[in-house]
């Protein structure tokens, strides 16, 4: 299959692949439902090329069942820049005062974010050339959205292998059905498809995508090496999840803004929004691993504790406990956690204020994300980004 070129993009129809039904369960994504349908269609076209047994395995992977949060952020960020101009709040030299989470290096605002790609000229002059430019960049945004969803699903396949996950999106995982080797290779297949779509994009866009993929792997490797480190600090934990998870959120927003022709102040603001929203998302995801309901989350829970990965609630618990209680937590709940005792761990987290603290920190990062958007002109896309961050922060309320 030949992908459409920049000069002649064959944009799919705005009707999704599901007969007009919503493409995502995220309420704020109703604004981009048509574009998300195009993303899913592009992914389906990539899968249609696969031969047996790969095509059958792709069906088992249940890749189509996700919330599409990351591609949604690409598309909403694209719209936020394309449909509006920058508002008030810049400094005298045009820079935006952007702050990130404590203990996180500045490069977390997107690999290559300090150099805005020299993409097509922003569509501001009107006329046929402007219309064609919008069509080109819009389809690039569709492709980038498909790429980040493929990368995300590849990481999920690999995560299920590392964590021994038995259920994902309400269905048995590939590793539980076909073994770890098959799951790893299928994840690699998805990465290959993502890189294939990258081939026709602007080199600086692909550089950001590749750099982000590296950072995600670095974060995962660091988390593995920090297992059973009972002295892991909160800033160290934030740095880990920034790399393994929030970096992709940040890059999604950065890329959407860049493709829409945004100025550096705009794209950095969006990258900061994505970074902090991504941190809030991962903190919440980690909390749900302890207190969540598998029938609602659709995936195997308790894997972080089983694999001795410290997350924010447990870090707070260990910090709030005295030495005797800390030893009891480590020996009884973290070293050998029988599933029947996990409810006791949740009770202890509640008693020491660890659940409340974790939810509070989540809301602080959501607030930082929303604060970054004060620079964007009011509009439906900005409202949808705000609604998305709020949705992320309420997942474990």
Tens digits of residue pLDDT in 266-315: 999 999 999 999 999 999 999 998 887 665 655 556 667 777 889 999 99
8 Å CB contact between 368 and 394:
no
Report the sign of the C-alpha dihedral through residues 390, 246, 291, 326, in that order.
negative
DSSP 8-state class, residue 376: B
Task: Report d(CA 209, CA 221) in Å as an integer.
Answer: 19
User: What pLDDT score was predicted for residue 23?
Assistant: 64
What letter would DSSP give residue 108? G
**Long-range residue pairs from 19-27, CB within 8 A, at least 24 positions apart, any chain:** 23/68, 24/67, 24/68, 24/69, 24/72, 25/67, 26/67, 26/68, 26/69, 26/72, 26/388, 26/391, 27/387, 27/391
Distance CA 306, CA 293 (A): 17
Greater model confidence, 229 or 174: 229
Q: Which residues are within 8 A (CB) of 294 and not within 5 positions of it... i.e. 6 or more apart?
A: 167, 300, 301
Query: Residues 166, 167, 168, 173: what is their CA dihedral angle, to the nearest 10 degrees?
Result: 50
How large is the average pLDDT for residues 93-117? 39
How is residue 332 written in tokens? 């009884």
Q: Please say if the pLDDT value at position 165 is more than 90.
A: no
Distance CA 189, CA 333 (A): 37
Give dist(CA 82, CA 358) in Å, integer.
36
Q: How deeply is 80 buried, as exposed, middle or buried, from its count of CB atoms within 10 A (0-12, 13-18, 19+)?
A: buried
Q: How far is CA 26 from CA 246, 328, 388, in A?
A: 18, 40, 7
pLDDT grade, residue 94 (50/70/90)?
A: very low
Lowest-pLDDT range of 43-57, 118-132, 198-212, 360-374: 118-132
Question: Is the predicted pLDDT of residue 126 greater than 60, yes or no?
Answer: no
Least confidently predicted of 9-13, 165-169, 223-227, 259-263 = 9-13
Torsion angle of the four alpha carbons 148, 41, 137, 109, in this order, in degrees rounded to the nearest 10: -10
Residues 156, 67: Cα–Cα separation, whole Å: 13
Domains of the chain and CATH, by start: 28-91+115-393 (1.10.600.10)
Q: What pLDDT digit, counting tens, does each position of 310-343 carry?
A: 999 999 999 998 888 888 778 766 665 555 555 6
The pair of three-digit structure tokens given for residue 15, joined into one six-digit string = 């009707």
Q: Considering the entire predicted model, what is its pTM?
A: 0.81
Whole-number Å distance between alpha carbons of 69 and 72: 5
């Amino acid at each position: 299959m030949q992908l459409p070129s920049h000069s002649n993009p064959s944009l799919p129809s705005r009707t999704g692949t599901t007969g007009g039904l919503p493409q995502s369960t995220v309420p704020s994504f109703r604004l981009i439902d048509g574009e998300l349908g195009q993303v899913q269609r592009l992914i389906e076209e990539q899968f249609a090329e696969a031969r047996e047994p790969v095509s059958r395995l792709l069906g088992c992977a249940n890749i189509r069942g996700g919330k599409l949060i990351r591609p949604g952020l690409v598309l909403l960020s694209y719209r936020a820049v394309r449909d509006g101009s920058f508002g008030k709040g810049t400094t005298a030299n045009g820079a935006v005062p952007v702050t990130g989470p404590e203990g996180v290096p500045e490069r977390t605002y997107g690999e290559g974010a300090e150099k805005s790609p020299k993409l097509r000229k922003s569509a501001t002059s009107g006329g046929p050339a402007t219309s064609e430019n919008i069509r080109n960049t819009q389809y690039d945004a569709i492709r980038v959205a498909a790429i980040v969803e493929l990368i995300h699903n590849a990481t999920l396949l690999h995560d299920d292998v590392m964590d021994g996950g038995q259920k994902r999106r309400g269905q048995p995982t590939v590793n539980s059905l076909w073994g770890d080797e098959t799951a790893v290779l299928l994840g690699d297949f998805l990465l290959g498809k993502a890189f294939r779509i990258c081939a026709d994009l602007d080199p600086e866009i692909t550089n950001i995508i590749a750099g982000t993929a590296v950072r995600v792997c670095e974060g995962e490797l660091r988390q593995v090496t920090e297992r059973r480190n009972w002295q892991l600090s909160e800033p160290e934990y934030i740095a880990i999840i920034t790399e393994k998870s929030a970096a992709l959120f940040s890059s999604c927003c950065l890329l959407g803004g860049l493709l829409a022709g945004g100025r550096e102040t705009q794209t950095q603001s969006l990258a900061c929004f994505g970074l902090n929203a991504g941190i809030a998302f991962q903190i919440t995801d980690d909390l749900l691993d302890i207190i969540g309901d598998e029938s609602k989350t659709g995936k195997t829970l308790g894997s972080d504790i089983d694999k001795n990965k410290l997350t924010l609630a447990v870090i707070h618990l260990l910090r709030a406990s005295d030495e005797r209680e800390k030893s009891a937590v480590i020996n009884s709940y973290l070293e050998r956690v029988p599933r029947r005792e996990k409810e006791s761990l949740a009770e202890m987290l509640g008693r020491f204020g660890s659940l409340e603290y974790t939810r509070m920190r989540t809301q602080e990062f959501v607030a930082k994300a929303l604060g970054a958007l004060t620079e964007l002109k009011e509009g439906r896309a900005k409202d949808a980004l705000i609604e998305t961050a709020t949705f992320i922060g309420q997942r474990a309320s």
